[in-house]
Structure 1
Amino acid sequence: MRSYETIFIISPDVNDEARPALIEKFKNLITEKGGEITNVDEWGRRKLAYEIDKKSEGYYVLMNFNSDVDVPHELERVYKITDGILRYLIVKVDK
């Protein structure tokens, strides 16, 4: 298993009740594919460096996980089709 780190920005239009469900959706996706989540850090609402889709703020979430190589590809696919995700980044962490 390899170590990965992902950060994603949730749109400020997503209400406070739907945000935890969205985060849980990505956590479940990783664990269902055989991955292990080591850390979830919600940074909260922050100002963006530049506007994305005419929005100047976003809700940042950092997640560390261990998984096989195919999990980040599936996670990226789901990020792309999920409404409410402004940006995302998945990187492999070298130990």
Structure 2
Amino acid sequence: MPLYEHVMIARQDLSNAQAEGLVEHFSTVLADNGGKVVDSEYWGVKTMAYKINKNRKGHYAFLKTDAPSDAVQEMERLMRLHDDVMRVLTIKVKEHDEGPSIQMQKKDERDNRRERRDR
């Protein structure tokens, strides 16, 4: 089955438990349609670059899934209809990265860029 990564932004006035409950709800929708969630991460409340529906912040969640395209389309459709979900991004990937996503890594771990040289 194809592999997908999803990022969902929920309204800021939800509690952490409600936001994680949304992730579980959409995971069961995916499972009911023949897919499975490989990994999920709750990134917390983050400030957005611009306002969405008069909200400056949102609960971010990240899902790695292994599901047929019909299941993903149904999950996205239900996400877009849900009042608490503001944005959804789905990307098809060839393989899932091992370990935590870049958002969950410590700054020291992900700051392995080279030093700038003088030109």
TM-score band (shorter)? over 0.9
Q: Which amino acid aligns with 2:48?
A: L
> What CA deviation, in whole Å up to 9, does each residue of 1:28-67 have, x standing for no partner?
0111111121110111000001111111100100000101
Which residue of structure 1 aligns with residue 12 of structure 2? 12
Note the residue ranges of structure 1 that are not aligned, 5 or more in a row.
none
> What CA deviation, in whole Å up to 9, does each residue of 1:53-94 have, x standing for no partner?
111100100000101121111011101110111111111112
Q: Is the 8 A contact 2:44 2:60 kept in 1?
A: yes
Structure 1 runs, 4 residues or longer, greater than 3 Å off: none
Note the residue ranges of structure 2 that are not aligned, 5 or more in a row.
96-119
Greater relative contact order (Cα < 8 A, sep 6+): 1
Across the two proteins, how many residue pairs are aligned to each other? 95
Relative to the length of structure 1, the TM-score reads 0.92
Q: Is the 8 A contact 1:13 1:84 kept in 2?
A: no
The alignment status of 1:63 with 2:67, answered yes or no, reads: no
Q: In 2, Cα distance between the equivalents of 1:22 and 1:52?
A: 19
**What is the DSSP-based 3-state SS (H/G/I as helix, E as strand, rest coil) of the residue aligned with 2:80?**
helix
**What is the DSSP-based 3-state SS (H/G/I as helix, E as strand, rest coil) of the residue aligned with 1:62?**
strand
**Greater radius of gyration (CA):** 2
Relative to the length of structure 2, the TM-score reads 0.75
Q: Is the 8 A contact 1:3 1:65 kept in 2?
A: yes
Q: Which amino acid aligns with 1:28?
A: T
Provide the aligned C-alpha RMSD in A.
1.2
Q: More strand per residue: 1 or 2?
A: 1
